[in-house]
Amino acid sequence: MKETTLRTHALERLAQWDRGLCRRFNSASQFTGLRVLMIGVSRLGDGLFWYALMAAMLAWEQQDAIPAVLHMIAAGLACTLIYKSLKRGTARVRPYEAQAEITLFTAPLDQYSFPSGHTLHATAFTLVAVTYYPGLFWLLAPFSLLVALSRVVLGLHYPSDVIAGACIGAAIAALSNTLL
């Protein structure tokens, strides 16, 4: 009984931390310049940035880029299947729906919050791409971090959604790197 109470208390403290951090990050959106940047980064993270990257890799490296691009596509498909399944299974309500203090600044692409699909894809694509082109790290890592940050600032995700998305994306990239 005591162990259950401690676990419940620990989970509630974690949930309070998650909600509080979410409110704090979302309040930064009051700064117009930051809000505009986050909206732009988030929209690029919808896929446009990654498609443009793959096209640029093919244009620059031509035939040599085909394995990297196919690997990114395979990882992206795995990410989509996993995150859609998790979202349906957990059905976590988005922060702006659960907390009146959270302001939504851009429309979500789907209904549920957990995990962050943008962060999941950004992490997986970054890790796969830098496996083939390590010099891209300095472009892709900061962009991926901004994508993750944008999701919380814009009121779409809790920090735990983003952390989970990054962990799952890293796991998919690592697994795909061992298989492909």
Domains along the chain with CATH numbers = 2-179 (1.10.606.20)
- Residues near 45 by beta carbon (within 8 Å), at least 6 away in sequence: 118, 121, 122, 147, 150
H or E element, residue 92: none
Task: Encode pLDDT of 110-124 as tens digits.
Answer: 889 999 999 999 999
Over range 93-107, report the average pLDDT.
89
| Strongest mean pLDDT among 5-19, 20-34, 81-95, 140-154 | 140-154
Phi, psi of 104 (to 5 degrees): -90, 130
Report whether pLDDT(141) > 90: yes
Report residue 163's pLDDT band, with 50, 70 and 90 as the boundaries. very high
Report residue 57's pLDDT band, with 50, 70 and 90 as the boundaries. very high
Task: Encode pLDDT of 63-92 as tens digits.
Answer: 999 999 999 999 999 999 999 999 999 999
Report residue 148's pLDDT band, with 50, 70 and 90 as the boundaries. very high
pTM equals 0.90
| Average pLDDT in the chain | 92
Task: Encode pLDDT of 29-48 as tens digits.
Answer: 889 999 999 999 999 999 99
Residue 158 Cα distances to 115, 120, 140, angstroms: 9, 14, 22
Which tokens sit at 61?
A: 């490296």
Residue 99 pLDDT: 86
Over range 81-105, report the average pLDDT.
91
Report residue 104's pLDDT band, with 50, 70 and 90 as the boundaries. confident
How far, in Å, CA of 8 to CA of 170, rounded?
29
Over range 23-27, report the average pLDDT.
91
